[in-house]
Amino acid sequence: MIPKEPGGDQPRNVTTGEWEGEQATYRTDRIIVKLKTPPEDSAKGVAEICADIAEAIPGGEQWEASGSTGRMLYSVAPDADVTQVAQDISARDDVEWAEPDVIDSAAVVPTDTRYGEQWALPKVNAPAAWDLSTGGTNVVIGIIDSGISMSATGGLNHPDLDASRYILGTDFVDGGTPRDLNGHGTHVAGIAAAEANNAQGVCGMNWGSDVYICRTLDASGNGSSASFASAVEEIVDFAVAAGKKTVINYSGGGAPNNTKRDACRYASDRGMILCAAAGNDNGGPVIFPAAYSVDFPGVICVGSTDAADAVSGFSNHGPELNVVAPGSDILSTMPTYAVGIPGTLNYDELSGTSMATPLVSGLVALMWTRHPGFTNQRIRDCLQNTAVKLGAGTFDNTWGHGRVDAEAALRCGDLFPPFTRFTNFTLNTRTKFTLFTPITFFTRTRFTFFTPFTPITLFTRTRFTPFTPFTRFTFDPGDPFGGRDPIVRPFVRFAGALLDPAELTLDRFEVFAPVAAPLAAVGLEGLDQVASTDPAALGEALGQAPEEAAALVGAAQDHLRQLASAA
């Protein structure tokens, strides 16, 4: 949270008091009301009930119409006790609950020093994870925060935030476009999704997924729980309509209330994930909505660590904590203009659980890209089960289930080990560059690494060939191979035949059409992948009997033999 200077003023129409036994900061000029569903034989419609409630509230005026969830926002007269009004309205038979609009604050501890390296990414093993996935369009990263760096005329203007990936949602503070006047939101966005490989600035955790921006925090870093809930619903509804998953990042929080609980339920029940900051009260209790992680499988509570893999001194503790991630002295994007957080334009360092949370959000989006069929519960389990333990035991209130490991998290649920297992199908194969290489029957490559000596070696024997998704090859035009195409194209070699992976996709074969979708959900999209899968592991992944899975593997091998013989 952004600390106020000693003697600093509260924002206008905001006070701190007690609500339901907890200290809370809330708006004095409005309450949130959730209606009960009227009985079918009710003589009153929703509009009439809303009007009755407005009359019962001093200075009551309905500011937001009742949506599908029945939640509304009403004004309250300046001289009224907002907590007493909320209690009175809660007692009505047609109201499920009413409450003050609790204020959340950004969970960040600003710093004024620049840290020259992104130590966090190698710490969590991100480079190895990027070999597996850099993000996909099947997942949307939602960021509910103070907005994003934009020019005064309304366009994204940061050189490290690719405008083509960003979807500008609602500004719940001032209306219009979600222009960042605080800096917190732009910093968070860069940690989760700054552009990579563009020869400038910083690199985000996720490079390929779209990012949906909603602004709920003002220039001081404060925002209401009603705005938070509306933003959650907006992003979730967008993802559901598009047939995508969403990972929502909320690097803020405050006291508990029904509005935030309902927003967490809304996302979780629709299969989505909300990553939320644990808070920065120097080991105090976890703030809300992060603390709702104990109630909903779609909520992930994130604490912070430093470069020494120790829990940051400011990070909150509690049984609600799921994982921790680097959050101290994190370099990321900042607006290109002066904002509420003082610091350097374009890039600067901040510390807080706010900074740890978007790293996890970007990572979860990578996990869902690699395993699109996983539920939010399974994604969270994989994130926790693969985390690096920072002490004795498997869980601790200070570090949860551990500090995230990006590669291990992405590999969780894979049917294939990191290295190819050689089997009795191994053959000698011939390629342009290697005369004799022992290799498996079923080998699929994207790009192959060759040493400078490979083209002139007569006999080369290898056990494993290192592959990376980024390898490119340049050739001397004067060499014996005459400067061939510098990109080695993907292929599948089977029984001496070279096959195009595009011709092996399961939907091309009638026998696999009924099971193509569940096979794709566990990462199997080609005949060669099914043919080289262990039947027991396949049966477990699909929930099938072993003999059914073995029949699928056998059918794939038969089809490969037929294709190879015809090649």
Q: Taking Cα atoms as reference points, which of 303, 316, 407 lies closest to residue 363?
A: 407
* The three-state (H, E, C) secondary structure of 75-133, written as one string: ECCCCCCHHHHHHHHHCCCCEEEEEEEEEEEECCEECCCCCCCCCHHHHCCHHHHHCCC
Query: For residues 85 and 56, what is the distance between their CA atoms, to the nearest angstrom?
Result: 9
**How many other C-beta atoms are found inside a 10 Å radius of the C-beta of residue 438?**
12
Cis check: omega of the bond before 289, within 30 degrees of 0: yes
Query: For residues 88 and 53, what is the distance between their CA atoms, to the nearest angstrom?
Result: 11
Query: What residues contact residue 139 under an 8 Å CB cut-off, 6+ apart?
Result: 209, 244, 245, 246, 247, 365, 368, 369, 372
Query: What residues contact residue 304 under an 8 Å CB cut-off, 6+ apart?
Result: 278, 280, 311, 312, 314, 315, 324, 325, 326, 327, 328, 351, 352, 353, 355, 356
* 3-state SS class at 232: helix
Of the listed 220, 225, 354, 532, which one is catalytic? 354
Of the listed 184, 317, 371, 401, which one is catalytic? 184
Query: For residues 494 and 474, what is the distance between their CA atoms, to the nearest angstrom?
Result: 28
**446 φ/ψ sector (left φ>0, alpha ψ -120 to 50, else beta):** alpha
Active site annotation includes 184: yes
Q: What is the DSSP letter of 55?
A: H
Q: How many residues are there in the chain?
A: 567
Active site annotation includes 354: yes
Question: CA of 111: how far to CAs of 3, 304, 339, 344, 368, in Å?
Answer: 12, 15, 14, 11, 33
* 3-state SS class at 19: strand
Query: What residues contact residue 48 under an 8 Å CB cut-off, 6+ apart?
Result: none
Q: Are strands 323-326 and 222-224 parallel, antiparallel or unpaired?
A: unpaired
Question: CA of 162: how far to CAs of 157, 198, 207, 426, in Å?
Answer: 9, 10, 10, 45
Tokens representing 207 are: 């490079």
Tokens representing 225 are: 């729980």
Query: What residues contact residue 132 under an 8 Å CB cut-off, 6+ apart?
Result: 366, 370, 407, 410, 411
What's the Rg (C-alpha) of the chain? 27
Of the listed 94, 104, 145, 348, which one is catalytic? 145
Q: Taking Cα atoms as reference points, which of 218, 216, 219, 214 lies closest to residue 227?
A: 216
Q: Tell me how many degrees the CA angle 528-533-534 measures, rounded to the nearest 5.
A: 160
User: How many Cα atoms sit within 13 Å of 340 on the Cβ side?
Assistant: 23
Contact 155, 336 (CB under 8 A): no
Tokens representing 246 are: 């969403």
Q: What are phi and psi of 222, to 5 degrees?
A: -110, 150
Active-site positions read 145, 184, 354
